[in-house]
């Protein structure tokens, strides 16, 4: 086979590889609340994190209520499913248990993510792809896809742009090109999902009530302990501020009862205690108590 015919064949193969997204969507009711598990595959961990981040924003745009990744990872770690993000296999996580512990209707499982490229003469192909499924609490897939996106270039594909193509080869495989591929992948696959009607999710449940502040003796002589208590959502994260001098003191919770404390020099004036609550979906609420 001559070199010219080989280039033409490669160009045809590359062009044939382009196509629409192949996916499956069940007739089950769409999930309302969703958590995205860390993505698995051979591609670099930073790229997998980018996939997850873009999925988060795109699924929110489609009208789903997404658990924050930090909460998901904490639950996975505490459950013994996430030890090392670099080697994490989302397919090994028991879906029913994960949905129960994350308080969601479904989880997004991403596997087999990989990136590849080849250069033959001045034909260049850079591809990125993987498998995704939205798994319901019963383990069944509500939606799934196995998709790849590619960028192509070369003399036969971009006639008259030989010099720019040769220059592009020097930048082949750079992070910016990978970001473009990941962005294209996520955009294409999420476009196949139905969009939930606006306002269908409803308002978040209030997270804070029964705030109290009390003072007691501190751990050291000459100190005074300020103890802040509140009742809130069991899966929320609570912190409190004392005026502008002490910020973000964590509050520990058991079954929805939270308490936090900070020692200050005895006699320190505190006029305003503000408690902040943040739930796994990113909703925030604050309440203030004045001494």
- Identify the CATH number of the domain in which residue 227 sits: 2.60.40.10
Q: Tell me: do 246 and 150 sit in the same domain.
A: no
Element (H, E) at 81: none
Q: Tell me: do 164 and 222 sit in the same domain.
A: no
Domain count, the chain: 2
Contacts of residue 70, Cβ cutoff 8 Å, sequence gap at least 6? none
Q: Tell me: do 91 and 221 sit in the same domain.
A: no
Classify residue 195: in a domain, yes or no: no
Q: Which domain holds residue 254?
A: 208-290
What is the predicted pLDDT for the residue at 9? Answer: 40
Strand pairing of 33-36 and 65-66? parallel
pLDDT digit string (tens) for 76-116? 999 999 999 999 999 999 999 999 999 999 999 999 999 88
What is the predicted pLDDT for the residue at 181? Answer: 86
Q: Tell me: do 243 and 146 sit in the same domain.
A: no
Whole-structure pTM value: 0.72
- Identify the CATH number of the domain in which residue 19 sits: 3.40.50.10610
User: What are the tokens at 168?
Assistant: 């592009």
What is the C-alpha separation between 224 and 205, in angstroms, rounded? 35
Q: Tell me: do 81 and 212 sit in the same domain.
A: no
Q: Tell me: do 160 and 251 sit in the same domain.
A: no
Q: What is the CA radius of gyration of the chain?
A: 26
Question: Residue 121: pLDDT above 70?
Answer: no
What is the C-alpha separation between 204 and 243, in angstroms, rounded? 27
Classify residue 91: in a domain, yes or no: yes
Q: Tell me: do 127 and 176 sit in the same domain.
A: yes
Classify residue 203: in a domain, yes or no: no
Contacts of residue 125, Cβ cutoff 8 Å, sequence gap at least 6? 14, 17, 117, 118, 150, 151, 152
Q: Tell me: do 150 and 35 sit in the same domain.
A: yes
pLDDT band at 169 (very low <50, low <70, confident <90, very high): very low
Q: 45-61 and 69-78 helices cross at what angle (nearest 10)? A: 120
Q: Contact, 65 vs 77, CB < 8 A?
A: no
Q: Tell me: do 72 and 181 sit in the same domain.
A: yes
What is the C-alpha separation between 136 and 144, in angstroms, rounded? 11
What is the predicted pLDDT for the residue at 5? Answer: 44
What is the predicted pLDDT for the residue at 174? Answer: 47
Q: Contact, 89 vs 40, CB < 8 A?
A: yes
Q: 175-190 and 45-61 helices cross at what angle (nearest 10)? A: 30
Classify residue 93: in a domain, yes or no: yes
Q: In the sheet that 123-136 helps form, which strands lie side by side, from edge to edge?
A: 23-25, 141-153, 123-136, 106-120, 33-36, 65-66
Question: Residue 13: pLDDT above 50?
Answer: no
User: What are the tokens at 252?
Assistant: 């520990």
Classify residue 200: in a domain, yes or no: no
Classify residue 282: in a domain, yes or no: yes
pLDDT band at 206 (very low <50, low <70, confident <90, very high): low
- Longest CA–CA span in the chain (Å) reads 90
Q: Tell me: do 254 and 158 sit in the same domain.
A: no
- Tell which of 190, 221, 255 closes a domain: 190
């Amino acid at each position: 086979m001559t070199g010219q015919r080989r280039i033409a064949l490669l160009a045809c193969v590359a062009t044939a590889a382009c196509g629409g997204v192949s996916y499956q969507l069940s007739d089950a009711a769409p999930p309302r609340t969703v958590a995205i598990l860390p993505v698995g595959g051979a591609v670099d961990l930073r790229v997998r994190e980018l996939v997850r981040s873009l999925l988060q924003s795109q699924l929110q745009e489609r009208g789903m209520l997404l658990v924050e990744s930090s909460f998901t990872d904490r639950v996975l770690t505490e459950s013994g499913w996430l030890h090392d993000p670099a080697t994490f296999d989302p397919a090994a996580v028991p879906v029913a248990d994960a949905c129960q512990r994350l308080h969601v209707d479904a989880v997004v499982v991403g596997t087999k993510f990989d990136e590849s490229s080849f250069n033959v003469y001045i034909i260049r192909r850079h591809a990125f792809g993987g498998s995704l499924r939205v798994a319901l609490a019963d383990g069944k897939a509500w939606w799934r896809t196995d998709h790849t996106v590619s960028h192509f270039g070369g003399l036969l594909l971009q006639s008259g742009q030989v010099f720019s193509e040769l220059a592009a080869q020097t930048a082949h495989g750079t992070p910016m090109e990978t970001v473009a591929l990941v962005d294209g992948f996520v955009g294409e696959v999420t476009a196949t999902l139905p969009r939930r009607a606006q306002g269908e999710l409803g308002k978040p449940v209030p997270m804070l009530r029964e705030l109290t502040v009390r003072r007691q003796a501190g751990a050291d002589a000459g100190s005074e302990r300020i103890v802040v208590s509140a009742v809130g959502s069991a899966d929320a994260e609570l912190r409190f501020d004392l005026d502008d001098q002490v910020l973000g003191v964590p509050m520990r919770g058991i079954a929805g009862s939270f308490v936090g404390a900070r020692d200050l020099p005895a006699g320190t004036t505190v006029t305003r205690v503000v408690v902040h609550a943040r739930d796994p979906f990113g909703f925030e609420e604050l309440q203030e108590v004045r001494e």
